Every structure is written in structure tokens, then in C-alpha cells.
Structure 1
Amino acid sequence: MANSIKNDLIASGFVPNVEKSQWEPVQKIEFLGACLDSKDFTISIPKKRIDKAVNTMLEIENSIRQHRRVHVKKVASFVGQVISMSIVVGNLCQFMTRYLSIDISLAPNWSYFIKLSTQSLEQLSFWKKNLTEINCRHLNHNPSYTKIIYTDASTIGYSGYEVNTPNGMVHGAWGIEEAVKSSTWRELMAVFKVLKALSIVLASNRVKWFTDNQGVCSIIEKGSMKTELQDLAFKIHSFCVKYSIIVDIQWIPREKNQIADYLSKIIERDDWGLSPFIINLIIDKWGTIDIDWFASPHNAKLPVFYSRFWNEFCAGVDAFSANWNEKFGLFVPPVTLLTRVLSKMLKENARGIIVIPCFSDDIEELPEVLAEKVPLIPELLVSARADSTTKSYMNAFQRWRFWASSNSVGEEDILPAKPFIFALYLCSLVQSASGATSAANNGIKDRLFKRHGRWKSDKAKDGYIKDSLKERLLVSQTLGI
């Protein structure tokens, strides 16, 4: 058949190149700069191309050793040779030559001698050690993923979660400097922080990673010409190598990443912590503390702590799922969890120190000059509303003001009102309502308990009175229903 094809080509006017033609069937052939092996089903770079790249590296090293600089064309030649091997090595060719490309871009012209950065020298060393070992790609490779991650970042913080891991959510807040970084930097940092937080879960796994930032996908696969982003991408790559994590990152539209998007915008408003001074006082009085059960990366004062979400430093998440009586712990919980914390401590006979905040009066802490201006707040709040809105709520507010004044509450605590005092007021309303109902059902004249409740109209008075079941049934009996 080979001879038949050869004769047909010649008869058609074509002149086959004898040196480049292979007329006998073979299982291994060099084609378009690559070696195809149908027996092992692999593809590799020919030895002569590998040797050429190695020789170029040696020339670069020799030039640096003698002159501390190297011709920019020599470096560009090496980068081009490596990138041409991407059919076998993949995106690693571009990723592990980015620092070299950055150094090349800094040269003012092509006749310039450049000084290579430390990162570029490290990349040269990488190719010198690994070029031969990674020169093989299996064509029948069909990867399957054992972990699935979604990540996102906002101006508030970052988040991520592993689909099949219980409590596998990661969350953190940005610092002041981090919050003003570019969206690509924040999304890339989110990937790095989630990697570190879930390192135990992801180690030795092939991970499918989803993000709604296309730039992040490109940077993780190929690197970036921006040094700041390339540094971060290199940290991600090095971390994956250290923990044998293979990441296949893919872009998805924002509407398919809503959970991670929601988590990245969480603000822990009831988060608070202790100063190092207070921690030292506690340790001096009660001794060494083994663990902080309620902390976050930015307020943790002990090396071992539990957090609400996974992060790179915490020992675990969800303190309520742990056994508290095994370690002497520090309990600094959010105020909203105090009841639940005390209940679990009693149930498990926990040992440790619990710290509860005592919030002082804000007005008492004000300087005298500012304290005199507190009465201006009610006027400002009233003027900020439309007249119709103010009139609608004025009667209810006047009732609150009258009650507060009658109970010696200062004008500065009437508006804005203190939560605890207003809670007492609501309790008094409940008592007034139940008292009015009781009076009405026992035959007390409306005029008397109307004055007692300080209601100005019958409509206001009737809103607090509930008719007894007997009186309601009497209406049905009278109507013959």
C-alpha cells in the first residue's frame, strides 16, 4: 500500500522528500518536532531538542558566572525553546518561564545584557533538574476528580467550600491594605488561602476548582507578567507541589457561584477579642491555657484555637461539636452565644476561663463638651423624616416619652433609646394591656381604666382590650347562630 501511495504521488507530479518520508509502517515516529509512540501511547520531545535547551541553559549560567549578566536574546531563545515544548509539558512551560519573561521585558533593546532576578535563576534551576524527567505525556490519560472547590472574593473578605466535606467552609476578612487590592489579586489570594485552610482535606487529591474570575484561571495555569500576581501564583503552585495537590481550575459565571459569593460577604458583627494585656493577666492568675474555643485569625491570642470557619491557622471549626472537658480552655464567645456556651460548659463539666464583656455607658465616656450636644440627636432624627411619617408615629413616640419621663429617664436616653430601658417600657405596655382587659371583663367603667392607661381616645383604649370568651359567645347566642 505504501508503494502504491508513493507511485500515485509521483504520477500526480509531486516529488516526495526522501529524508523526511517514511514509507514503512512504524509504531514510533518523529513528527512536527515531537515523538509519537503508538505502542506506549505517549508523546515526547526529541532528544536533540532537549539537548539544545540544556546547552542554552549552560551558556546562560556560564555568562552569569563570568559577567553577572547575560544577553537578552539568549534568555529569549531559551524561553522560546521551552514554550515550544508545551505540547508535551503543558502550561508548566509558560508558568515556569514567567519570571524570565518579566526580566526580558525590562530590557530597553535586543542588544542589551540583563541581570536575572533570583526568581529567574530558580526557574532556570528547575528546568535543569526536571526537563528530562517531565518529557513524557500519556495520550490516554483520563483524570477523575476527587474534590470539588468553589471560591470567591469580595471587598469584604474571601470564601470557599469543598462540596462533599462536612463543615468544609472557609471564610476570612481582608485587612485594610488587602481590601483595596485589585479584584484579580483578591480572587487569587482567595484560592491560596482556601488551599492552605483545607490542606489536610485536599492533600494527595485531584481537585476541580471553580471561580468566577477568568483572569485567575489564566494566571494559575500560565502565570502573569505582573510580578505581584506571579509571586502569588508561584506560591499556589509550590503549595500544590508540597501537598501533592493537582488543581484543574475552571471559570463559571457568577450566578453559578452564589454560595461562595454569599459567604465572602459575611461580616461577623458580634466578633470581639481580648487584648494581650488581659490574656497575660488571665495566664498569671490561672496558669497555662490549652485552647481558645472561640477565635478567628485576626483576634486569636493562643496558638491553638477553634474558629467559626476553616482558615489556615485554626485547629478546628464549630467548637460546639468538640469535647470541652479534655482541655483547659479560654471561652470568649460572641454575646449571642453566651447562654448556649454556659449550658454546654455545665453539661460537660468543662474547665477553663469564660470572659463576658461589660459594655459601659457610651454617653458617660464622652468629653463634657460633646455630652452637651447629645440632645441634638433627637432633633436631627426627626428632621430626617418626612412630615407625614413623623405625624404617623408621633402619638406612639409621645406615649414612650411620657412613660420615660415619669420613670426618671433622662432626655438623652429617650431618643435614641437604650435597648434595656425600652424593653422595660414594652413590658409595661404588656402589663397595661392585660390589666385593661381584666378591668373591662370585671365591669370597671371605661372612663376609669382609660384614665389609668393614659389613653386619649376610645380607639387607642379599645386596641388594648380583649373581649372575654363569654362575651364573644353571647353575641352568637343573641344572633341565634
Structure 2
Amino acid sequence: MVGLLVSACPALQYSWLHTKLFEQFKYQALLKNYNYNQIVTLPHFIKGDFLWWLKNVDNGYSPIKRNQYRKEIYTDASSTGWGAYCDGEESYGYWKEDEIDLHINELELKAAFFGLKVFASNYHECELLLRIDNVTAISCINRMGSVQYPHLNEVSRDIWKWCERRRIIVFASYINTKENLNADRLSRKKFCDTEWELSDYAYNEIKQQLGVANIDLFASRCNSKCDTYVTWKNEPGAWAIDAFTISWEELNFYAFPPFSMILKMIQKIILDRAEGIVVVPYWPTQPWFPLFKRICQSDLIYFSPRINLLKSPYRSVHSLHRSLTLVAAKLSGRLY
């Protein structure tokens, strides 16, 4: 069956993508017992690819590739972060805790996916060129997956399913690391102090007492507390960039802003007549604190200084952990 499907792949766009799980299952079954006559039970997770073939085998097509690329995107990954560069624009970020120890080949694939999301999310029915300095990642992208390495196949599959929904064709091409300077530099950017987030125990207490927010206004891919989040720079998956450029009036938000932006945040809440959950340091002598108290809609929740009150995958301890008390409250600009 696999051989028959592979023979049809040149005539069906994206079809290579939908053979890899079949080949992977066959490969793993033969590793356990090298016998083509053995009886096997097909796993449930390949059902989707069966359905794809049933839907497309009679009416699918494969347009001629013109090699006319709408975008040329440079990406790179390092042990600490990823970088992407395209037409003078930059994007970069750090790895989550569960990503830091992944193999560099998988990180390179993730970096390529982030580059596509950042620079091509609004594109449809076109060809894109990825410039990468990792030959394994290039092979996985151009082959639409990997049979021997399930973890690489999973990321490659995510990339191509994203492309398939947009009718995009991607081609990955090798670039020497010395020529991939912009993406390489961005992937090695030093840790930014805005990447701190509230610990899980503290955030869970906030949810229990103040409710669940729908959007995190000051976040990144690594530290967002909600599935929907706003970043201060262009990042994959962000709902918007720069919270101060959008209206907060209809948002049920959570906000833990950089300390230098607290006054600006309070003014924005009042201006937009917005309501949401806010976390700030307990600094009663600050000029913004009386205004903060004035628009409080709930009691304050206090979090005493603790070594693990704030967390980051890049630094073990916050410099203010011995003295920093945080408070959370529900604020309403309509109370001003």
C-alpha cells in the first residue's frame, strides 16, 4: 500500500506529507520483527492520513513549481534561542523550559516554523524560500518529514500542515553559517529581563480568587499565561503586537507589565474603560499606587517575597527576590 501511495505522490500536492506516518509505522514494525507477513494493528493516529487520501486521490493535483519565491526567510537556532530575518525585519525569541534540551536539529526546524509564522502568516498560494544552515532540517522540510526520527517528523508535519492550509509551497536551501549572520545573531541574543513570569502557584491562586482571563497583554511565547497573548515584538502565535496599540475595552485580560510601564498601563485602563486582572509590585510610595488603589474592583492578593515567586528558564533567581512583594487585583477603568 505504501509503495502504491508513494508512486502517486508526484501527482498530488502535499501527498508526501501524508505518507510519512504509514512509512514510519511500517519501519518501526519491521525493526521489532523483520517479517513482511506479520499481522499488525494499525494505530488510531494514522486515521487522518487515510481520510486525506480517500478525499484527494481522485481529484488532487500538483501545480508546476515556478521557483518564484514571494519571500526569502533566514532562520537559525542556538542552545538559548531562535532568530529569523526577512527583508530587513527581525524576529527572535527564547526556548521554553521543555524545549531547551531538545536536539539542535529539532530546534532548527522549530526556528524555521517560527520564521514562517512571523513573516508569512498572511500569505496564500505562493512559494517561499527558507535559508537554513542545518542540512538535517533542510532534508526534513524538503522531504515533508522523516521516517526514522519521529520527533523531527512531528515538527516537519506541523510545518507542512500549516502550509497546506494556506496552499503554500516551501523550499529549504542551505546557507553557510558565516553568511547567515542576521539570523545567527538573533538566535544568540542575551536574556532580556522582561521574560520573567509569575510562578504557577501564584497564578493559580489569582485564578481561584479573581477568575480566569482570556488574554495576556504583556507576554511572549515562553511566558504567556493565556493561549491568546500580546507581545512587544513580532513573535509566532501572538494575537497582536504592542498592547498599547489596541483597545482593551472588550478584553477580559491579565496583565503583569514591566515595572517601568505600570503608570502607562493604568492610564490605558482608565482611557479604555477596561477591566482586567493586574499584577504589580507592592510599592505604596510610587506615584502610580494611589491611582491603582482608586480603580481596584477587588481586594488585593498579596504574594510575599519568595525565591520562586518569579521564574524564568534563563535565570534561576530574580535579583529582587528577597524584597519584592507583589499584589494582584481586578481593576476597572470605569471606577475612575
TM-score tier (shorter)? 0.5 to 0.7
Deviates more, 1:245-254 or 1:129-138: 129-138
Give the C-alpha shift of residue 214 in structure 1: 1.4
Find the partner of 2:108 among 184, 187, 194: 187
Find the partner of 1:102 among 24, 38, 55: 24
1:401-412 superposed matches below 5 A: none
1:54-203 superposed matches below 5 A: 78-85=1-8, 88-89=11-12, 92=14, 94-105=16-27, 106-107=29-30, 108-115=33-40, 116-120=42-46, 122-134=48-60, 138=64, 142-163=66-87, 169-175=91-97, 177-196=98-117, 200-203=121-124
Indicate yes or no: 2:155 matched with 1:232: yes
Distance 1:135 1:292 in 2: 42
- The RMSD of aligned alpha carbons is 4.0
Distance 1:296 1:331 in 2: 12
Distance 1:324 1:308 in 2: 15
Corresponding letter in the other structure for 2:78: S
Give the C-alpha shift of residue 304 in structure 1: 4.6
Indicate yes or no: 2:167 matched with 1:244: yes
Per the alignment, residue 318 of structure 1 pairs with 242
Q: Is the 8 A contact 1:149 1:162 kept in 2?
A: yes
Distance 2:264 2:74 in 1: 36
Q: Is the 8 A contact 2:10 2:62 kept in 1?
A: no
Corresponding letter in the other structure for 2:66: N
Q: Is the 8 A contact 1:159 1:190 kept in 2?
A: yes
* 1:145 to 1:278, Cα distance in 2 relative to 1, 3 A: same
Per the alignment, residue 281 of structure 2 pairs with 356
SS at match of 2:111: helix
Bigger share in helix: 1
RCO comparison, higher one (Cα < 8 Å, 6+): 2
Per the alignment, residue 128 of structure 2 pairs with 207
Per the alignment, residue 307 of structure 1 pairs with 231
Structure 1 unaligned segments of length 5 or more: list them: 1-77, 359-363, 367-481
Give the C-alpha shift of residue 189 in structure 1: 2.3
Give the C-alpha shift of residue 334 in structure 1: 2.9
* 1:114 to 1:249, Cα distance in 2 relative to 1, 3 A: farther
Give the C-alpha shift of residue 299 in structure 1: 3.2
Q: Is the 8 A contact 1:294 1:333 kept in 2?
A: yes
Give the TM-score normalised by the residue count of structure 2: 0.64
* 1:322 to 1:170, Cα distance in 2 relative to 1, 3 A: farther
SS at match of 2:223: coil
Per the alignment, residue 141 of structure 2 pairs with 220
1:4-19 superposed matches below 5 A: none
Distance 1:86 1:221 in 2: 14
Distance 1:289 1:121 in 2: 36
* 1:322 to 1:256, Cα distance in 2 relative to 1, 3 A: farther
SS at match of 1:149: strand
Distance 2:237 2:256 in 1: 18
Distance 1:328 1:104 in 2: 48
Distance 1:284 1:128 in 2: 47
Q: Is the 8 A contact 1:304 1:314 kept in 2?
A: yes
Q: Is the 8 A contact 1:325 1:349 kept in 2?
A: no
Distance 1:149 1:278 in 2: 40
Give the C-alpha shift of residue 290 in structure 1: 7.5
Distance 1:118 1:279 in 2: 36
Give the C-alpha shift of residue 258 in structure 1: 2.1
Deviates more, 1:107-116 or 1:325-334: 325-334
Find the partner of 2:219 among 295, 304, 309: 295
Per the alignment, residue 61 of structure 1 pairs with none
Deviates more, 1:192-201 or 1:245-254: 192-201
1:270-289 superposed matches below 5 A: 270-275=194-199
Corresponding letter in the other structure for 2:160: H
SS at match of 1:160: strand
Structure 2 unaligned segments of length 5 or more: list them: 284-304, 308-336
Q: Is the 8 A contact 1:156 1:174 kept in 2?
A: no
Indicate yes or no: 2:254 matched with 1:333: no
Distance 1:87 1:291 in 2: 43
Corresponding letter in the other structure for 2:60: I
Give the C-alpha shift of residue 184 in structure 1: 0.9
Distance 2:165 2:92 in 1: 21
Bigger radius of gyration: 1
* 1:179 to 1:132, Cα distance in 2 relative to 1, 3 A: same
Give the C-alpha shift of residue 212 in structure 1: 1.6
